[in-house]
Structure 1
């Protein structure tokens, strides 16, 4: 049983041309997709929680640690994206370098990142929307805004926004990108309003003590807010729908990371400088800071920006999940009918609808707080495997064209792996247990279906005597 069989990049490119997705995006679109998915839950929700419970004002250092980790990963991803401009991200990169079995495991864990993560974001979107409507005098019954475990019947706003995003994704990437541009503009506007209004009110005395829980707290904070950087992986799933992926993908991946990290640190600095860190443990810390300063109108504007921000995160996470599944179906690891492309819209509509309905059901009926904690470990695992693949491909395919070459590749990859493991080490032990259980389930599915239905397995049958 050869679970380490690799797939030729040439074959992947041929299949991509045969079952092609529509190429509509440029470098700016990739940067905006990155900003769209990275800036959302991290700024609008997790920053306050991580500061209050773990890092204090040292949350700024937590973002630096996570940002540096992602910088190393991004340099490796940029080389991979320029070499292998195919949908699928870490799954695709692993298939070409480390083999099918490991690629399946990566793809299986990306489900945790995208589908479960999207469900969590949909729940957050619902909470902000319900809060904003309530402040405007519109009170929606609890039965329609909470899951059964929380005393409701269904989280209807979460279901509706998920189905709307599914509709956009079925229509096509161009339409989705246009919506993303508008929402990103509103979101960035809200962040700059916050910085302009709250920035002058910073009292540096609130930064003392800077690390009330010590460096261990800063490290734990980095593990918590790493959820904010999950979008780095999803950017690479857009490679096949980019007009010039070998140039645009490196620009988009690295550019979006730089912009987002700067904004994260700036917002964290202002928040903890205006309000004592221990007061930030709430679901809308940015809006809370402005209300605390008496800027109720500004708080409403930022709340609107938060809704837009979470909308873009939801859109891109669902987009990324559909592209990973699309690539896996093209490889035969899941039924190929799921990857059928719509004749008019040139989108994988079947898998998009399935993902949309699945995310809607999870967000509408399931309390996913515990499961959502697995998002970070699944993503970090994918990061580790994909970056190792860069070094492997340097050895196995040294002559292959690399429009972007990761500088000091051995050092960068080593640091990327060590940083990822350091953040994983700071995750809860229960999260590790769930991760191993989830991975074991994935391996069983691969053994029962994926291995025997793989295109590589089918192509090698005539030679097996």
Structure 2
């Protein structure tokens, strides 16, 4: 068999379904929306509407969020069809293996590892910083040596809080998916409650004159703002990794993915309307615009609650991403492209080995490595997955094994999937050259790993 034939061999859906049947199906559509909102709504909702309004869009930030949501919804609908037709673990990695071939699946899996690991590591580090600020409010502190990434010149040797929160979330997820989902749902409810509290309190201090002019930067400002806030919506794709653990996935997966985007859009637009109505957009280019606006109208007590909302937002984001990354690593191990022990399930239906492995990696990254310059790589990993999932709808529809899919299907086929793929390419073109160089190194290393280990140990090629 030629090299090309080997690396482009496609997996069979029935084999994936047989392997993944040991997962316990416990999750409902509500649980999926909660997971999705946990990933999409983080601290950005308290920052982006203000800073992007001040620098790019003015009150037109409201339209920017709507426009970004429309762009994102094209990819979301493509994910929804894949998740409905292929209810297996592994998200875009497994989809790539099934419709494009193993090498494409590996590249997508490698892109998603980049997204999940860096996203959680960066957020765990930020969570540690927020938690230390909260402790400072009670006149408590932790030693400086264990309060930041490894940087002896600054007197820090590791971020203990970042390491502990990652370990705690992984322990919680390993302990039982049902109880973990309940806790996640509760914290997401608290987070949404805090956002709604800001909207209700802030509504009493809105001055319509602050919305004039609505488009101080013109329509170009709205487009520029949409490009800037587009990345705020990323994370809904993590919902698709849970397909093997969902009750009635053909119905619930599309509801979870598209429902996440709808709820997130309502929250982002709501905060944008109130924030730009409370304070002139010209004053919002600050580190914490929502808290700043509340202080301007002398509602400091709500500003204090916002910091709890930020902690809750980061916590649920880490829950979703650690959960998703463990299912991704399980899927790659299941196929033999990574060591086989990663693809085994514990008696309780949890991929314990992959969870422990990814926890160690994330804890080291979040606790010891400065990630400020690397977080843009999260965007490139996500957009590459979006790109292939969008164009992948076309071969999916022609796949004989799954032509009897009676679940959700993307409307306006094939125009919408093609438009979605082109929009992803447009967003990729907006990323900085440094991001492309760093990602090129990451993908080069991934290909070396595939050809030296994955291809030889692949379950597909061994069969």
Matching residue within 142, 145, 150 for 1:143: 145
Please report the TM-score for the alignment, with normalisation by the length of structure 2. Answer: 0.93
Q: What's the CA shift string for 1:38-87, capped at 9, x where partnerless? A: 11133134444433444443332332232112211111111111110001
Equivalent position of 2:68 in the other structure: 66
1:395 aligns with 2:398: yes
Equivalent position of 1:250 in the other structure: 254
Which is further off, 324-333 or 288-297? 288-297
- Structure 1 residue 218: Cα displacement: 4.1
Equivalent position of 1:379 in the other structure: 382
Structure 2 vs 1, CA of residues 280 and 356 (structure 1 numbering), >3 Å: closer, same or farther? farther
Question: What is the CA–CA distance in structure 1 between the aligned matches of 2:221 and 2:122, rounded to whole Å?
Answer: 24
1:206 aligns with 2:204: no
Question: What is the CA–CA distance in structure 2 between the aligned matches of 1:244 and 1:451, rounded to whole Å?
Answer: 34
Question: What is the CA–CA distance in structure 1 between the aligned matches of 2:380 and 2:41, rounded to whole Å?
Answer: 19
- Structure 1 residue 438: Cα displacement: 1.7
Equivalent position of 1:40 in the other structure: 42
Question: What is the CA–CA distance in structure 2 between the aligned matches of 1:151 and 1:281, rounded to whole Å?
Answer: 31
Equivalent residue runs for 1:259-274 within 5 Å: 259-274=263-278
Equivalent position of 1:412 in the other structure: 416
Matching residue within 83, 92, 98 for 1:90: 92
Equivalent residue runs for 1:166-177 within 5 Å: 166-177=170-181
Matching residue within 105, 108, 133 for 2:107: 105
Equivalent position of 2:133 in the other structure: 131
- Unaligned ranges ≥5, structure 2: none
Which is further off, 226-235 or 130-139? 130-139
* Structure 2 contact 202–274 (Cα < 8 Å) conserved: yes
* Structure 2 contact 123–314 (Cα < 8 Å) conserved: yes
- Structure 1 residue 406: Cα displacement: 1.4
SS of the counterpart of 1:146? strand
Q: What's the CA shift string for 1:363-391, capped at 9, x where partnerless? A: 11111111111111110110110121111
Structure 2 vs 1, CA of residues 298 and 162 (structure 1 numbering), >3 Å: closer, same or farther? same
- Structure 1 residue 410: Cα displacement: 0.9
SS of the counterpart of 1:315? helix
Question: What is the CA–CA distance in structure 2 between the aligned matches of 1:341 and 1:15, rounded to whole Å?
Answer: 10
1:348 aligns with 2:348: no
Question: What is the CA–CA distance in structure 1 between the aligned matches of 2:447 and 2:55, rounded to whole Å?
Answer: 36
Matching residue within 309, 312, 325 for 2:329: 325
* Structure 2 contact 334–344 (Cα < 8 Å) conserved: no
Structure 2 vs 1, CA of residues 377 and 256 (structure 1 numbering), >3 Å: closer, same or farther? same
Question: What is the CA–CA distance in structure 2 between the aligned matches of 1:266 and 1:228, rounded to whole Å?
Answer: 15
SS of the counterpart of 1:261? helix
Question: What is the CA–CA distance in structure 1 between the aligned matches of 2:14 and 2:223, rounded to whole Å?
Answer: 42
Question: What is the CA–CA distance in structure 2 between the aligned matches of 1:417 and 1:290, rounded to whole Å?
Answer: 40
1:189 aligns with 2:193: yes
SS of the counterpart of 2:156? coil
- Unaligned ranges ≥5, structure 1: 460-465
* Structure 1 contact 186–305 (Cα < 8 Å) conserved: yes
Structure 2 vs 1, CA of residues 96 and 402 (structure 1 numbering), >3 Å: closer, same or farther? farther
1:280 aligns with 2:284: yes
Question: What is the CA–CA distance in structure 1 between the aligned matches of 2:111 and 2:83, rounded to whole Å?
Answer: 20
Equivalent position of 1:229 in the other structure: 233
1:303 aligns with 2:315: no
Structure 2 vs 1, CA of residues 319 and 243 (structure 1 numbering), >3 Å: closer, same or farther? same
Structure 2 vs 1, CA of residues 288 and 112 (structure 1 numbering), >3 Å: closer, same or farther? farther
1:114 aligns with 2:116: yes
- Structure 1 residue 215: Cα displacement: 4.9
Question: What is the CA–CA distance in structure 1 between the aligned matches of 2:228 and 2:303, rounded to whole Å?
Answer: 25
Structure 2 vs 1, CA of residues 106 and 183 (structure 1 numbering), >3 Å: closer, same or farther? same
Structure 2 vs 1, CA of residues 292 and 151 (structure 1 numbering), >3 Å: closer, same or farther? farther
- Structure 1 residue 139: Cα displacement: 3.6
RMSD: 2.0
Please report the TM-score for the alignment, with normalisation by the length of structure 1. Answer: 0.93
Question: What is the CA–CA distance in structure 1 between the aligned matches of 2:430 and 2:208, rounded to whole Å?
Answer: 29
